[in-house]
Amino acid sequence: MKCLIIAAGQGKRLSNKGNSKPLIPLLGVPLIERVILTAKKSGLDEFYVVTGYNGKKLRQHLDELRHNRGINITYITNDEWKKENGISVLKAKEFLSNDNFILMMGDHIFDGAVLEKLKDVKIPDGEVMLVVDKNVESNEFIDIDDVTKVLVRDNRILDIGKRIERYNAYDTGIFLCTPVIFDAIQESRNRGNDSLSGGMKILAENGKAKTFEFPHNSYWIDVDDEKAFKKAEKKLMSDLSKVSDGPISRHLNRRVSIKITKYLVRTNITPNLVSIVSFLLSVLGAFFFTFGGYMNLIIGGSLVQLSSIIDGCDGEIARLKFLASEFGGWFDAVLDRYADAFILFGLTYYVYSFGKYTPILSLFVGFLAIIGTFMNSYMADKYDSFMKKSLIPGKHYLRIGRDVRMFIIFIGCLINQPFLTLVLLAALMNAENIRRIIVLYDNKGSYFDI
């Protein structure tokens, strides 16, 4: 589906962050690029971007984005960018006069779930649908003095504007349009109002302006000033946790890794490179175990926990910069399995060579810890897939995985109990594997095709 993005304004309130608002980086990704990539991820495939102020620089960046990401982008020049935003929409008339399209703002970030639903909506010819947010009581992301307000009744717009007194929704800046939007804006312009909202008023007067309610628990932010910019950063960072995060990842590791990620996204460091660094830290930690001695045990355990924290950064960078890929996820999983083998072998070697227990007992416990760990990882995909489908979206579920293992090793090394650490890992991992088998078996009819 086609998508029109207006990005012609100057953006004076963010001028201290850059001289082209659409190109101001938000956590490593320019605003306009973040909007386009969110829309592309949601299923839109053809983009028209209206440029204006500092347009040459923006168009150069769009050319690079088109080449690097393989995105179909056409840019449109608005030499009247000082006027209201309706003019930017009118500039696209010759490109979109025969098609329905989604219209968005170049400085609004949002949850892409809304586009996944909106693009499949059937809208009659001669109507326009505005996505409205009815959370007017406690929306922490809006500027009440600047947001466009909407009065809605029975999914139709009765009034719209920044200064209207009666309203029950906010304009999110996302529209599903038929070509009638161009005629409505032109009529509004003839009345002396060049704004997009003016065009929507014309449609509302004729009963042709419908609404689509913004999904519950989703977000949208008009990144128009520094306060909103900071809110957008905070929101994007807070969304980096996953429902499959274990308790250590959720309550400890993420709190550290997102602080590291916040700086790494400003560099050219790739997620795969972070995965390699995490793996090397694990190997280095295992290497220290082979030297024996309490100090080497502490250093090794600390490196293992550090690698576990860093291991979260690769996925965070990938999600923030739209670099997630099937290969990246698979590559990270492969390195994690090799890292687990090195770590547990190193710890088993420490107990075998420097501990007070018999060699057979040391090797047996180490073997149980290793096989339990590998089976735990092998089961993870099936278990996680089932739990994600079975539980309320966004809710966490019981998951004892790699984050817990690495933290147990870290604590066990600190208190100088490597043998008990292996015993605990062997018991906990194998018990967790049995629990997962029971959970999946009890629900085999709803998940497995057998």
Residues with Cβ within 8 Å of 323's Cβ and at least 6 positions away in sequence, in order, are: 270, 271, 317
pLDDT over 90 (residue 232): yes
Q: List pLDDT tens digits, range 325-379.
A: 999 999 999 999 999 999 999 999 999 999 888 999 999 999 999 999 999 888 8
Q: List pLDDT tens digits, range 401-436.
A: 899 999 999 999 999 999 999 999 999 999 999 988
**Range in 136-140, 194-198, 275-279, 322-326 with the lowest mean pLDDT:** 136-140
pLDDT of residue 383: 81
Task: Provide mean pLDDT across the span 140-160.
Answer: 95
pLDDT over 60 (residue 392): no
Nearest-5° Cα angle at 177, 83 to 135? 85
> How far apart are the C-alpha atoms of 132 and 173, rounded to whole Å?
8
Residue (of 232, 298, 303, 293) closest to 262 by Cα position: 232
Domains (ranges, CATH) in the chain? 2-234 (3.90.550.10), 240-447 (1.20.120.1760)
> How far apart are the C-alpha atoms of 324 and 319, rounded to whole Å?
6
**CA atoms within 13 Å, Cβ hemisphere of 119:** 17
pLDDT over 60 (residue 65): yes
Give the single-character DSSP code of 214.
P
Q: List pLDDT tens digits, range 102-111.
A: 999 999 999 9
Residue (of 409, 399, 403) closest to 432 by Cα position: 399
Count Cβ neighbours within 10 Å for each residue of 117-142 and write b for 16 or more, e otherwise.
Answer: ebbeeeeeeebbbbbbbebbeebebb
pLDDT over 80 (residue 243): no
Q: List pLDDT tens digits, range 14-64.
A: 989 998 999 999 999 999 999 999 999 999 999 999 999 999 999 999 999
- Backbone φ/ψ region at 217: left (φ over 0), alpha (ψ -120 to 50), beta: left
Instruction: Write down the H helix ranges in 323-417.
Output: 326-354, 359-390, 402-414
Q: How buried is 317 (Cβ within 10 angstroms: 0-12 exposed, 13-18 middle, 19+ buried)?
A: buried
Give the single-character DSSP code of 52.
B
> How far apart are the C-alpha atoms of 427 and 424, rounded to whole Å?
5
> Are 222 and 105 contacting, i.e. CB atoms less than 8 angstroms apart?
yes
Query: Is residue 103 within a helix (H) or strand (E), and if so which, with residue range?
Result: strand 101-105
pLDDT of residue 387: 75
Rounded (10°) angle between helices 402-414 and 326-354: 30
